[in-house]
A and B are shown apart, each in its own frame.
Chain A
Amino acid sequence: MSLWNKSVIFEKNALIMLIGVLIVVSIGGLAQIVPLFYLKSTIEKVDGVRPYTPLELAGRDIYVREGCYLCHSQMIRALRDEVERYGHYSLAAESMYDHPFQWGSKRNGPDLARVGGKYSDAWHQQHFNDPRSLVPASIMPGYPWLATTELDYRHISESMNALANEGVPYTQEMIEKAGLDLEAQAKDGSAGSSDLAKRYPNAISRNFGGQAGAVTEADAVIAYLQMLGTQVDFKIYDDKANIR
């Protein structure tokens, strides 16, 4: 029996065939996945990226709940037209605290990776309420309930704890004061604001949802959108440093 005919062993025995397939497929997978965990060039060090504040995290959960990722990507690819339209291409480090990441793969709507600071809070409020009142050609559905639904953040500490187990550097203090920090960020000037900025550098606190009283889901999701892509200062970012 020549070497060519050794395939008969696999072809005549289902279990050996199965094991053989598993080995071949896992070699392909491992060769692609494992190097990402140790190659220097795939693990960027970038200044400024911090974990989400409790309010932003709650907003992110709403973003996931409403399925925003189905139509919006958060990934500016390294292509000329994308950089021209959306700004600097996304860095891996910018979504290092995302579990799961929201890169998305479909763009019925525009990319949101750098939407932070691009529009005013009032714009976002009106746009969630009735997108076509601002952008006549928009096909985005309205999300009017965000402004009228009180944010349920009873479990925000548990969420942060879960993320801490995933490797997000939330300290015990951050987790304990999550509720306070969340309220402080949604209500500008209330007690605890100064503490918030200490725990989360460059966190903006103001009334994102534009309504007096309780913290709404609009507060959370707009706080999240307004920080997207704003953490890395590209004036001082060295784009050559990470081409290694």
Chain B
Amino acid sequence: MSPDPKTPVKIDALSGVPTTGHDWDGIKELNTPLPRWWVIIFVGTIVWSIFYVIAYPAIPLHSSFTKGVLGWSSRGAVGKDIAALRATRGPMTAALAKASLQAIEKDPGLLEFARAQGKAAFADNCAPCHGAGGGGGKGYPNLNDDIWIWGGALDAIFATISHGIRSGDPQGHDSAMPAFGRDGVLSKAEISNVADYVHTLSGQPAEQGASVASGAKLFAEDCAPCHGVKGAGNQELGAPNLTAHGSLYGSDKEMIVQTLTNGRGGVMPAWSGRLDLATLKALTVYVHTLGGGQ
């Protein structure tokens, strides 16, 4: 409270500090001045704000606002940041976008850069399904092994990453494992027989009392057109190799029966709209060099 000028300033005898002049039942209020450091900072921030308002976007006007003499804007700033990032990566990224996939793998410098960029992009975009190390999971292919559904060559991997599988992209891979049970093509008993046969294809012993022979006959009729007479699969159609170990959805009989009954149609998104060409190529090379590339 400001002291009243009509009353003379009274000094408190004990502390030597002026009082406000008010007296409440003998208790007087000290009128201690604000600490100097505090006043300096207070005034300093006000002075600072004047420069800030001049330098940066600040005051709203009729249809626009004062832009500030520095011309800063958050969107302009991020644009510059990203341009700077591109410039840093520039020569390598440009080389990556221009070189063929095969050439990237032959050039040690490009390969190292592609694998580094591919690893980061893989962690951001692919790991949620295929696992942090590309180990896959049920319904999500393992990218470390040499079992490929749509092909493990560089160009095949690039096509799959770019356009996806059953992704709605017109250039994406498209096929479907029919639902033999749900659509009434095969009876439950027949499905069980086919499952027994498929079970033996990957070298697993047949279950007791399994009718492998009748399963083989049904397989030749219904499954061989896509999966091949010997069940070796067809990468053109995305029909998995059934003789391989480590099946996509598991190799126990129960799982095979489920697949035959309800069909399968796993979806991989198309990435060409989301990632640029250099990143797509980096990812392709990264996946190809994980261990199973063909």
Give A residues with C-beta under 8 Å from B: 1-2, 4-5, 7-8, 11, 31, 34-35, 38-41, 78-80, 83-85, 87, 89, 117-123, 126-127, 133-136, 204, 235, 239, 242-244
Contacts and interface: CB of A to CB of B under 8 A. Distances in A.
A243 B76 contact: yes
Interface string B73-112: 1111111011001000000000000000000000000000
Given A8-B2, A78-B78, A84-B85, A118 B64 contact: no
A204 B252 CA distance: 35
A40 B267 contact: no
A83 B82 contact: yes
Given A8-B1, A39-B65, A83-B82, 12 more contacts: A35-B60, A38-B63, A39-B63, A80-B78, A85-B124, A117-B269, A117-B270, A120-B267, A120-B269, A122-B139, A133-B137, A239-B79
Contacts of B140: 123
A134 B5 contact: no
22 contacts: A5-B2, A5-B5, A7-B2, A8-B2, A34-B60, A40-B64, A41-B64, A78-B75, A80-B78, A80-B85, A83-B82, A89-B75, A117-B269, A118-B274, A120-B266, A133-B137, A134-B128, A134-B129, A134-B137, A235-B273, A243-B76, A244-B64
Contacts of B5: 1-2, 5
Contacts of B79: 239
A204 B63 CA distance: 39
B224 interface: no
A113 to B, nearest CB: 13
Q: Interface majority SS on B: helix, strand, loop or mixed?
A: mixed
A123 B166 CA distance: 14
A4 B60 CA distance: 31
A243 B1 CA distance: 49
A79 B128 contact: no
Nearest to A206: B168
Interface of B: 1-2, 4-5, 60, 63-65, 73-79, 81-82, 85, 124-125, 127-129, 132, 137, 139-140, 168, 266-270, 273-274
A31 B65 CA distance: 12
Contacts of B128: 119, 123, 127, 134-135
A83 B60 contact: no
A228 to B, nearest CB: 13
B2 A118 contact: no
B175 to A, nearest CB: 15
Nearest to A12: B1
B81 to A, nearest CB: 4
Contacts of A84: 82, 85
Nearest to A82: B78
B2 A39 contact: no
A83 B78 contact: yes
A113 B74 CA distance: 19
